[in-house]
Amino acid sequence: MHFNPYGGAAAQLAAALVNAHPDSTADDLLTLLHDQGYRPVGALTTHEADGLKAWARRLEPVFAATTDRVGHLNTLLAETAARPYLSTHDGRPPHLHFAPATAPTADRVRAFTAAGLAHVFCEAPDRLGRCARPGCGTVYIDTSRNGRRRYCTTRCANRLQVARHRERHPA
């Protein structure tokens, strides 16, 4: 499934933040933002990195469906006070921004990810998920054609199936 770029890229960034190691440094998070195609302005301070890690913990229930997702997303959106506007920069076609370009990177990431998750949730709420393999916990956005993804990777699915097979057929 192809998501509108206003939601898809932001939701993928949200998943990457949730899946980031809890001990990630500011440099680690800056690399993550770059890897996800997000263009931060300047370096992240330790305080901003801590804020992004806390924000990631707040995004996680949207994927895990452990809360009223509509209410939770509305709370996140209200906290970011996102005010979408069109922007053209770096030779890119017009696209939406959800926070002023002069805002700190952490504030812009918060607005971007909240708006992106809300967009994907409105389009296809069942496409946001958490890996079904016990002990994994990785979150994902299901972009498969049939929308029946239950695991973060094929490797996790195979591990679970091998474990089930070994339970049924002990050596």
Q: What is the spatial distance between Cα 158 and Cα 16, in angstroms, rounded to a whole number?
A: 22
* CATH code: domain of residue 46: 1.10.3300.10
Taking only the tens place, the pLDDT of each residue in 91-123 is 888 888 888 888 899 999 999 999 999 999 999
First to last CA, the chain: 41
Q: What is the spatial distance between Cα 125 and Cα 65, in angstroms, rounded to a whole number?
A: 9
Host domain of residue 57: 5-168
Taking only the tens place, the pLDDT of each residue in 37-82 is 888 878 899 999 999 999 999 999 999 998 999 999 999 999 997 7
DSSP H helices in the chain: 5-19, 26-35, 46-64, 69-80, 105-123, 154-168
Q: Into how many domains does the chain fold?
A: 1
Mean pLDDT of 136-162: 88
Which pLDDT score, from 0 to 100, does residue 2 have? 53
